[in-house]
Chain A
Amino acid sequence: MLYGYAGQILRVDLDGFTVEKQPLPEDLVDKYIGGRGFVARLLYDLIPPGTDPYSSENIVVIAAGPLSGHYLPGSGKTHFGTKSPATGMYGDGNLGGHFGPALKYAGYDVLILSGKASGPSYLLIEDDTVELRDASAYWGLGSITVEEAMKQDLGQAYEICTIGPAGENLSRFACISHDFGRQCGRTGIGTVLGDKKIKAIAVKGTGGLPVYDLDGLYQAGKRAYRDIYAKPGFTGWQPEGTAGITNFVNQVGAFPTRNFQTSSAEHYQQINGRQILEKIRITDKGCFCCPIPCGKYSRAGTALGTVNVEGPEFETISMFGGNCDLQTIEDVAYANYICDELGLDTISAGAVVGFALECHEKGLLSDEDFGRRVAFGDLPSVVHILELIAGREKIGDALADGVRLAAEKIGQGSERFAMHVKGLEWTGYECRNAPGMMLAYLTADVGAHHNRAWVLGQDVTGTDADVHSLIQAGGSGERLPKSDVRGKAAGVIASQHLRPAFDVLGTCRLQMMELGFEVEHYEELLALVTGRRKTWGNILEVSERIWHLTRAFSVREIEGFGRHMDYPPPRLCHDPVQSGPNQGHCISEREIDILLDEYYQARGWDENGLPTRETLDRVGLSDVG
């Protein structure tokens, strides 16, 4: 028996609607554990090479981990994946809230969607019952609005994932929303659901999960919670959540500002975590079994009206408060709400809007292109552009394809400041003087995403301190010397292996990353839940396998994939930071080459950045490549 797991894969083919329930294969469990591991392997195996992301053959995989839904801290995480319409590569995203546990209680570790529904539909899963229902009445509604409507129609006990108009209209950075504020944000998985005409997935499960040693787990779980309560960050980091890092990032000159023209914002104290607490927070909002809820549910009043929204988190603060230069926490929260309701990833959306505003500032786009005057720092401008994107109207039609494709259309040198890697927009850390973090962005398997590896603390302090400790130490705001780019690969690779470990287990990483909760806990908890003894090192081996597998997926899917795709946008090499601690700094292409050469060598990839046969064999991927 597979203790800890629900034990089944649910396969739904939307072409004609067929449902198949398969036992969860034991060899998949052995080699990939769960969550992100299942997603990576199933996408590689089930998507025919060369598949168009907008075809019936593309699939969406949703996978919980063995620890999802169990009595232990942060067990509410679920992984989603598809062939990304933003990048054409492996794409994934991670969702908090309660959806994954509900899927397991209904009896399924994995849900695989293939094909396309014939019209607007939603998928309803209630234990053994799986139905495709008409969603005509919901089509066109916002993500939050439709979740509220469906809970009224179906019942409060359903856990629901939805898409908004941006997903319906195939914006390439449409997200999936759940629990009134949790998102699976990146790589356009909401876009693929929209292409499949799936407005929502509603799940209700009434079953229990088998546990290898329930008494042992209950006691170990209690100890784990108590250990977290004892961490300084339990009272120090938790109240502001991820927004608490805003001051630090700004003071070390890594805060994207005005489309990465500079890396610190003078108004950062108007948009930080303290402002959330003092001005807009209604309640903390936690994911399943989380003792340190980073979610802040807020009510924010602006000139455009008052909204209720979960957030803003740090990434949204950086991309709208910094990158689009919105001046108050209320304005950032309002933009957050608009993105959530439209179903747009706030990170890519903030990058795209910042790019569009700079195009306008430089005269590459006119008022006519937007249908009105637009400017950095102006909330009505930002909201207007977001609505154009979601509706694919005017210049929004080009912008909805993301900065890479939009820059190709707009031309006139706009590629220089189109902030992305491999087609995925850059996120909330500016890196011209943070070479480790730069390398993390360049080599992230989904494109420019900070969540694959985060080594800004190492770049700035030279230590591996947890985030709460970094925040406590603070940044000086003083001018920083140019950093040495050598010797960064090992730290980046270690972080690239650490983070997937949580994604395969189905738990949140923040207990460890932010508070310093020890990884040894997970060895014990995994053994008690599943009866399978794995050291943390064994789990990191799975992370490494996934890392090479997703790279191999991209090599397979992108003609000519290689080193040339691992470079940053020209701005970071040629436009010096305009102000703040890193004023005047750039990173040269020669320095990028040093970063990549050291990284490829450490990874066992060739000079073009492709995994070698020997490396794939070494990590158990003899059947790949």
Chain B
Amino acid sequence: MQLRAIHENCSGCRTCLLACSIVNFRETNPAKSVLRIEGLFPVPGVYRVQLCDQCGACAEVCPVEAISEIDGVYQVDKDLCTQCLECVEACPQGVMRTHPGVETPFKCTLCLECVEACPRGAILIANC
């Protein structure tokens, strides 16, 4: 199971970001969400939903093997992480996130709250 974006459905409202931060950090703070909405304006004038598809690029580059797949979800082991940020650099979607108030990089937990939150069906669950 993984997330899939239907970019043309996105209106850029970012409701998904709030749901994400509330569920994962118990905080109303979109800077702590693990997906991103890019508005490509004024040209071409479309939105792109950047989300984790559990590709594993973060795990591949982690020098201390702090990121591993558990039940189909790549997860960061905070105790092993050395905050080298190579995973942040490596993430092709830019959704291995950092925040001044969070010690280690963080990522999608596949909680699926964003799927439910989106008013327009721009984030779907793809079974693979």
Question: Which residues of chain A from 15 to 69 have any CB-CB distance to chain B below 8 Å in the complex?
Answer: 69
Question: Which residues of chain A from 155 to 207 have any CB-CB distance to chain B below 8 Å in the complex?
Answer: 156, 179-181, 205-207
Contact among A69, A148, A181, A291 with B13 in the assembled complex (CB-CB below 8 Å): A291
Docked Cα-Cα span, A179 to B14, in Å, equals 13
CB <8 Å contact, A70 and B13: no
B15 contacts partner chain A, Cβ-Cβ < 8 Å: yes
How many Å from the CB of A145 to the closest CB on chain B? 8
Residues of A within 8 Å of B101, CB to CB, are 206
Name the residue in A105, A283, A285 with the highest tally of chain B Cβ atoms < 10 Å from its Cβ. Answer: A283
Q: A214-B22, A283-B47, A308-B43 are in contact. Are A208 and B12 (CB under 8 A)?
A: no
CB <8 Å contact, A71 and B41: no
How many Å from the CB of B127 to the closest CB on chain A? 24
How many Å from the CB of A236 to the closest CB on chain B? 15
How many Å from the CB of B93 to the closest CB on chain A? 14
CB <8 Å contact, B12 and A180: no
Residues of B within 8 Å of A287, CB to CB, are 13
**4 shortest A-B CB distances, which residue pairs?**
A208-B29, A286-B11, A286-B13, A291-B119
B107 contacts partner chain A, Cβ-Cβ < 8 Å: no
Sample of 4 more A-B contacts, CB < 8 Å, known A290-B15, A292-B119: A69-B28, A76-B13, A282-B46, A291-B15
How many Å from the CB of A182 to the closest CB on chain B? 11
Docked Cα-Cα span, A209 to B26, in Å, equals 11
Docked Cα-Cα span, A311 to B58, in Å, equals 41
B19 contacts partner chain A, Cβ-Cβ < 8 Å: yes
Q: A144-B42, A289-B18 are in contact. Are A214 and B11 (CB under 8 A)?
A: no
CB <8 Å contact, B28 and A286: no
CB <8 Å contact, A71 and B15: yes
Contact among B19, B41, B44 with A148 in the assembled complex (CB-CB below 8 Å): B41
How many Å from the CB of B113 to the closest CB on chain A? 9
Docked Cα-Cα span, A309 to B42, in Å, equals 7
Q: A105-B30, A282-B46 are in contact. Are A288 and B41 (CB under 8 A)?
A: no
CB <8 Å contact, A288 and B47: no
B8 contacts partner chain A, Cβ-Cβ < 8 Å: yes
Docked Cα-Cα span, A558 to B39, in Å, equals 44
Question: Which residues of chain B from 52 to 88 have any CB-CB distance to chain A below 8 Å in the complex?
Answer: none
Docked Cα-Cα span, A179 to B37, in Å, equals 13
Tell me the nearest residue of chain B to A340, going by C-beta. Answer: B42
Q: A71-B28, A299-B45 are in contact. Are A283 and B13 (CB under 8 A)?
A: no
Docked Cα-Cα span, A282 to B45, in Å, equals 7
Contact among A70, A179, A293, A308 with B45 in the assembled complex (CB-CB below 8 Å): A308
Residues of A within 8 Å of B32, CB to CB, are 208
How many Å from the CB of A299 to the closest CB on chain B? 7
Docked Cα-Cα span, A308 to B99, in Å, equals 34
Residues of A within 8 Å of B11, CB to CB, are 283-286, 290, 293, 295
Map CB proximity to B onto A74-109 as digits: 1 under 8 Å, 0 otherwise: 001000000000000000000000100100010000
How many Å from the CB of A227 to the closest CB on chain B? 12
Can you list 25 A-B pairs with a CB-CB distance of less than 8 A?
A71-B18, A71-B19, A71-B22, A71-B28, A105-B30, A105-B31, A156-B39, A179-B41, A209-B28, A214-B22, A222-B116, A228-B119, A229-B119, A282-B44, A282-B45, A282-B46, A283-B8, A283-B45, A283-B46, A288-B14, A289-B13, A289-B14, A290-B11, A290-B15, A291-B119
CB <8 Å contact, A297 and B45: yes
How many Å from the CB of A368 to the closest CB on chain B? 36
How many Å from the CB of B126 to the closest CB on chain A? 22
A225 contacts partner chain B, Cβ-Cβ < 8 Å: yes
Docked Cα-Cα span, A299 to B42, in Å, equals 10
Docked Cα-Cα span, A289 to B118, in Å, equals 9
Tell me the nearest residue of chain A to B101, going by C-beta. Answer: A206
How many Å from the CB of B38 to the closest CB on chain A? 7
CB <8 Å contact, A208 and B27: yes
Tell me the nearest residue of chain A to B16, going by C-beta. Answer: A289
A370 contacts partner chain B, Cβ-Cβ < 8 Å: no
CB <8 Å contact, B29 and A289: no
CB <8 Å contact, B26 and A214: yes
Residues of B within 8 Å of A76, CB to CB, are 13
How many Å from the CB of A412 to the closest CB on chain B? 41
Residues of B within 8 Å of A207, CB to CB, are 29, 31
A211 contacts partner chain B, Cβ-Cβ < 8 Å: yes
Docked Cα-Cα span, A229 to B116, in Å, equals 13
Tell me the nearest residue of chain B to A210, going by C-beta. Answer: B28
CB <8 Å contact, A206 and B29: yes
Residues of B within 8 Å of A101, CB to CB, are 30
Docked Cα-Cα span, A285 to B37, in Å, equals 12
Docked Cα-Cα span, A297 to B45, in Å, equals 7
Docked Cα-Cα span, A211 to B43, in Å, equals 37
Question: Which residues of chain A from 90 to 149 have any CB-CB distance to chain B below 8 Å in the complex?
Answer: 98, 101, 105, 144, 148
Name the residue in B13, B22, B99 with the highest tally of chain A Cβ atoms < 10 Å from its Cβ. Answer: B13
Map CB proximity to A onto B1-26 as digits: 1 under 8 Å, 0 otherwise: 00000001011111100110111011
Tell me the nearest residue of chain B to A281, going by C-beta. Answer: B45
Residues of A within 8 Å of B28, CB to CB, are 69-71, 208-209, 211, 214
Docked Cα-Cα span, A297 to B119, in Å, equals 18
Tell me the nearest residue of chain B to A101, going by C-beta. Answer: B30
How many Å from the CB of A331 to the closest CB on chain B? 19
CB <8 Å contact, A289 and B15: yes
Docked Cα-Cα span, A285 to B46, in Å, equals 9
Docked Cα-Cα span, A89 to B10, in Å, equals 40
